[in-house]
Amino acid sequence: MAHIQVPEGAPGFLGPMAISPQSTRGLRELAEVLLRGPNTLTPAEREMIATHVSARNDCCFCQLSHGAAAAEHLNGDYDLINRLKRNYAIAEISDRLKSLLAIAGKVEKGGKQVTPEEVARARRQGATDKEIHDTLLIAAAFRMFNRYLDGLDTWQPTDPNAYREMGQTMAHLGYVKPNREKPRRGSLATARFAKLENRPHSIAETVAICTALPSLSLRIWSRIPSEADGLALLVQNASKHGLSPAAGLGYPSAGTGSVDVLRKPSV
């Protein structure tokens, strides 16, 4: 049980998000920039750095969720991510990434553990100053994320398979909702809305749709006073329809049942 009161069955970040959306939004925006923003490090490489640090910190939620995101960026190569966590030095990754993971591992221990020799080695392997900088920042950020979730004693499922849907959402939709702009009449997005509204959806699918298609999200969120209330509603609806409460945001253990939440945005 978490040290503070959060929605029952809400894993990892979902619990803190429900009670403090303002502060956790900043963390999600940081993750979006670090892991998905323009960069010469690929999203897969950056997710692998996050996974490596989280595994060293023994944060189950972060290592499994970001490991799943990394695997999704690599066409579902979960075996590679598992080998990287066991021993990145013999995993089938570039020498450049290995040198950056060595730096990230030192940051996990403490910033002063990073040595000039390790930075020089990364440069010899082709890493730029910006890539070294971003590796350090990702490692430092995930050291904070790991301690944040573990310090609150949030619920963290231990089955790696439970995180696959979440990994897909993180890899392909990201960590924050885009600006909610109404699509132009007759646009492709408008046609997609019409098709999507004509059938029921799972909770997880609905939230993925709301994230990817911002205008449609207005239809479900418009009558909800705050983001925290919206998260709570999703958890409640999931339970009501026999789904895992974690189904809310494509989080672990999302069920496969269907519920017509788009037509029932009541609070």
When pLDDT is cut at 50, 70 and 90, the band that residue 195 belongs to is very low
* Structure confidence at residue 226 (pLDDT): 47
User: Where is average pLDDT lowest: 32-46, 175-189, 247-261?
Assistant: 247-261
Task: Look at residue 105 and tell me whether its pLDDT is greater than 50.
Answer: yes
In this structure, CATH architecture of domain 14-157: Up-down Bundle (1.20)
Query: Domain-by-domain residue ranges, the chain?
Result: 14-157, 188-263
Cβ 63 vs Cβ 85: under 8 Å: yes
* Structure confidence at residue 228 (pLDDT): 46
Cβ 82 vs Cβ 183: under 8 Å: no
* Structure confidence at residue 253 (pLDDT): 36
Can you tell me the distance from the alpha carbon of 236 to that of 150, in angstroms, rounded to the nearest whole number?
Answer: 24
Using CB atoms within 10 Å of the CB of residue 264, give its burial: 0 to 12 exposed, 13 to 18 middle, 19+ buried.
exposed
Query: pLDDT of 5-16, one tens digit each?
Result: 877 778 888 888
Q: How many other CB atoms are found less than 10 A from the CB of residue 222?
A: 9
Task: Look at residue 102 and tell me whether its pLDDT is greater than 90.
Answer: yes
Three-state SS letters, 53-96: HHHHCCCHHHHHHHHHHHHHHCCCCHHHHHHHHHHHHHCCCCHH
Query: pLDDT of 150-192, one tens digit each?
Result: 999 998 999 999 999 999 999 999 998 654 333 344 444 334 4
11 φ, ψ to 5°? Answer: -85, 155
- Output the pTM of the full model: 0.69
Cβ 57 vs Cβ 146: under 8 Å: yes
* Structure confidence at residue 237 (pLDDT): 52
